[in-house]
Every structure is written in structure tokens, then in C-alpha cells.
Amino acid sequence: MAASPVFANDELVKMSQNPKDWVIPAGNYASQRYSALKQINAENVKNLTPAWTFSTGVLRGHEGGPLIIGDIMYVHTPFPNIVYALDLNHEGKIIWKYEPKQDPNVIPVMCCDTVNRGVAYGNGMIFLHQADTTLVALDAKTGAVKWQTKDGDPSKGATGTSAPLVVKNEVLVGVSGGEFGVRGYVTAYDIATGKQKWRGYSMGPDSDTLIDPEKTTALGKPVGKDSSLATWQGDQWKIGGGDTWGWFSYDPELNLIYYGSGNPSTWNPVQRPGDNKWSMTIWARDADTGMAKWVYQMTPHDQWDYDGVNEMILSDQKFDGKDRKLLTHFDRNGFGYTLDRTNGELLVAQKYDPAVNWATKVDMDKSSKTYGRPEVVAKYAPGSAGEDVNYKGVCPAALGSKDEQPAAYSPLTQLFYVPTNHVCMDYEPFRVTYTAGQPYVGATLSMFPPAGQSNMGNFIAWNNEKGKIVWSDPEQFSVWSGALATAGDVVFYGTLEGYLKAVDAKTGKELYKFKTPSGIIGNVTAYEHDGKEYIAVLSGVGGWAGIGLAAGLTKPTDGLGAVGGYAALSSYTSLGGTLTVFALPH
């Protein structure tokens, strides 16, 4: 992506263009998870071998991945959120270790395992968003704390699981807690002091959401005054969810930040009539002020827990023969969206898993009153026939056709490589009362593969102009690992059983696999050191799909329905916490 010194953190923009390093959690500001390295390619990847490993000393789910800055690798862990600085010149020797002291009472209010999706770098500091919502700035060379600030209140259910993003001279963080009625927001903190610069909520009055009723648009039209309040009953918006625990992207030329908001609270839709704006929404905000330029709500009045937090992948491509600045998003709801990121124009909305049945399509007729809305199938819409009714065979399940595990994009093939879930559910909503700090869910779920099928995941290649699957590789379990595309025409991903896999970027043909010590829910990373290309990935089963193993749960409906669906996983892997680094033989 083009960049200029007047935009963004000048140092970080320049560093992210050096493929030897990996300085932003998603690889670059466009969240493409693409490496221009090509020493490892489709011809020789079959020779890949483990070069070295590192134990993090922590069990439970290891999401995210390391940062590599020069000769130092920064590795993070789930709770208690240890950060290690490893010396790549001396066999990964530990330079420093930071282990925060946190109240363990935060663990029970982390809905879907004690995960953390990574650290960020900027201005000589490493930024960690701790489980207890503390944002801490560490000296990158020594690990000394430069400043720290509290972003939320864990006693009311707010937690921190997301990777921060450094933009210009600020650090962005979101918040988790939709299952506890936490009202979501994104906050920008001053990179030098930790002082809050702005905060934009997902719902509430315009002064809270940083929406201009005349200038902020949705599908090309001004949203109007207090557009969020008009879609909630009374004060429900104050405990309305819409949390922001996913990924951030940034376009330096437009100076816009892109991210998604999550599910409205409670999971029982009968208790919150209306569209529940602006949950389930793609946001484009001005980086300096936080003001919303445009919004697009993908799943109005969410009845399925289809959080909209998945990454926004930015690309400059031809669309209908014209050069466009695009945003591609693979939503939990099973639709792959392509939008013009300058103005939020909806260009494509198509299913990226054939099993999706909760909606027939998204209305793409610009003259229609329902333009941009999904056409919902009533029998698969929990709450449509009331509470305490079990709505059966809904696809996808609540964890979506894809959850937070980020996809990759290759500018060489112009394809998107998407780790997906192929899972359906039964969903029974029930009445629930809000109590601060207590679960505010209101639904019982069970999960299983689509009827007549046994695979619970696919790894797919997607064409974002046509809205079509180019190829699809089935997997026994959900693919809960972040993908990596490389200039060597190889795409990497991990499996819940623990395999690192390499496939041909053009055909999807499997070229290599190696079983690591535990299931992989981490994101694959590439870097170069001393002229040699390396592939690194964290293994450590957990996350929502692996919560049964991670937390020792056995009741099928526990883990918000995931325990029963993934019960067989315990036959293939066990808990762990290991970084495995691969390279070609000397």
C-alpha cells in the first residue's frame, strides 16, 4: 500500500514494507497477512523442517503470533499475558520477560478461553492489552514499563483479548464482554503518555458513537440523528454489547481505521426488539478524531451471535474494470462482503460456505427498501416463534463460518485464503436478567457438522470480485488458525489437531504438513534472519472451538455450545504452549 511520511507512524510504515520483519500483528496496515519473501516456495516447501522451538510456559489457547523486529522476536501468551523478547542471534535466548500481576478473577469473565491475540510495536515500545483491560507500554529493549492505563472494568465483565494497533501517535484497543452486557467501544491512547485521545462507542447517542448525523453515511445515505438510539427499547443500549475484540486495519491515504463490532446483548433476541444499531457493523473512523465516516450493519437484530469483529482486508484491485480501493470481510454470518472502503458502497455479498441457511441472500437492489439487508429464513431465526423454542439445524453455528482467525490475501493471485468453520447448531433462547459482572447470554446451544457431512472446517480460496469459492480443502475440525500467503505461491495455515500445513496458492494442493505439540489456533508468520526465511507459529489448543480441552469442560452445551461439537478433538491433541519455527535445511 502506498504511504507517505505525512501519514501514519512514519517509522512503522517504513518497517512494515521490509518483508524480513513482521512489525504489525496482521503483517501490514491492510491486514493482508502477506509476505513478499519467496525463498520458501511451492517447489521446495516439502523440505521444510523445524529449526527451533520455544515453550511459553503457559497452557490454554495461544491465538495471535509473534512480532519480529530486527534481531528480536516478541512472543506473547494467554493469561497471565507474559511477553518474551527473544534474541534471534543467540538461539532464541530470553532477553527479557514481562509477567503482569493480574487478579485471577478476570478468568471467569473471559467468555471463550483466556486468549490474547498479540502485541503491537511503535516508537521503541511494545504494547500489550492484558486480560484485565490494562494497556501497558513496555520498553522494547529492556521490558521496563513506560506507562499503563486501564481501559475497562473486569468486575462488570469487560476484558482485553485483542491485539492493539499503533496508528500515527496513538495506540488503538477494543474491548471484550458482549456476553456480560458490556457496551463496546474503541479507544485511542496517546503513544507517549497513555492519555485517552478519543473513544467511540458502538451504540448510544451520537456524542458517544462519534457519529455525525449528516456526514456519517450508511450505504450512501446520512444515518440521521441518534440512529443507534432509535433501534433500541429504552435504555437497553447501555448494556447492549457490540464489543470490539477483533482486528483493526488502517488506510494511511484515507486516514481511516476499519474494524467490526460484535453481537448485541442478550443472545435472546426477543428481549431486544429492533435493529440494535450499531452492533454487527463495519466501521470506518477518522484516525485523528474517531469520527465515523461510514457504517454498514451486516446482521441487523442479530438472532444468532454472528459477531462482526472479523478482520477487514484492504486491497487496491480492479473491480468491474475500474481501479477501486476495496475492503473485503468474511463475516461470522457466512457472507463474504466486498465494499468500496472510501465510502462504504456495498459491491458483493455472497455465501462463502455452501451450508449457510439462516438467510437466502443479501438484497443488492439499490432501489429496494431492504437494500443491504439479509433475507432471513424464519425457521432458522431464533426468537421468531418466541422464547423457549429450540431452533434446529441453523447454519452456521454461533461461532460463524469464520471467527477471529484471520484470512490472508495475495496480490499475486488476487485471491483471499480463508480458514473456515463448517458447523451448524440448535439454538434455544430463554429469558435472562442483567446483573453486572454476571453472564448475560440467554440461550442454550449445541453444535455439529452440517447434515450428512463429517468435516467441520474448510480452507478456501475466494474471489472477492465474483464472490465465489475458487477451491476448497476440507478439514476434520474447524480451521481456527490465521492464514499466511507468500510470494513463493505458498499459503500456510494450522489445524486444531496441531498440523502446520502448506498448500499451493493457485490450486490448494497440499504440499507439506507437520504436527506440532498441540492444536494450532495461532496465526502463521514469516520472517528472514541472516539471509534465511523462517515460518513461525504458536501451538496451544483452546479458543472457543477448543474450550472443552482448555478449561476441562465436559457437558456438551458448555462453552456456549462448543464442548459437544468438538468432543472428538481430545483424541488428537492436548494442551500446550509452544512456538515452532520452520526453515529449509542448510
CATH at residue 539: 2.140.10.10
57 located within any domain: yes
Give CA–CA dist 122/11, Å, rounded.
8
CB neighbour burial string for 365-381, b if at least 16 within 10 angstroms, e if fewer: eeeeeeebbbebeeebb
Please state whether beta strands 484-486 and 34-35 pair in parallel, antiparallel, or not at all (unpaired).
Answer: parallel
* Residues annotated as catalytic (active site), given as ranges: 305
What is d(CA 346, CA 554) in angstroms, rounded to the nearest whole number?
43
- Domain assignment of residue 4, yes or no: no
The structural domain count of the chain equals 1
Cell of 409: 490475501
In a domain? residue 5: no
Tell me if 2 is assigned to some domain: no
Range of the domain at 360: 10-583
Q: What pTM was computed for the model?
A: 0.97
Residue 541 lies in a domain: yes
Q: Do the domain assignments include residue 3?
A: no
Cβ atoms of residues 526 and 22 within 8 Å: yes
Domain assignment present for residue 1? The answer is no
Is cis: bond before 278, omega within 30 of 0?
A: yes
Q: Is residue 517 part of a domain?
A: yes
How far apart CA 258 and CA 465 sit, in angstroms, is 20
Cell representation of residue 570? 481430545
> pLDDT 10s per residue in the chain (586 long)?
444 444 557 888 899 999 999 999 999 999 999 999 999 999 999 999 999 999 999 999 999 999 999 999 999 999 999 999 999 999 899 999 999 999 999 999 998 899 999 999 999 999 999 999 999 999 999 999 999 999 999 999 999 999 999 999 999 999 999 999 999 999 999 999 999 999 999 999 999 999 999 999 999 999 999 999 999 999 999 999 999 999 999 999 999 999 999 999 999 999 999 999 999 999 999 999 999 999 999 999 999 999 999 999 999 999 999 999 999 999 999 999 999 999 999 999 999 999 999 999 999 999 999 999 999 999 999 999 999 999 999 999 999 999 999 999 999 999 999 999 999 999 999 999 999 999 999 999 999 999 999 999 999 999 999 999 999 999 999 999 999 999 999 999 999 999 999 999 999 999 999 999 999 999 999 999 999 999 999 999 998 888 888 888 888 888 888 888 899 999 999 999 999 999 999 7
Q: Is 157 helix (H, G, I), strand (E, B) or coil?
A: coil
CA-CA distances (angstroms) from residue 513 to 45, 84, 498, 535, 547? 10, 27, 10, 13, 25
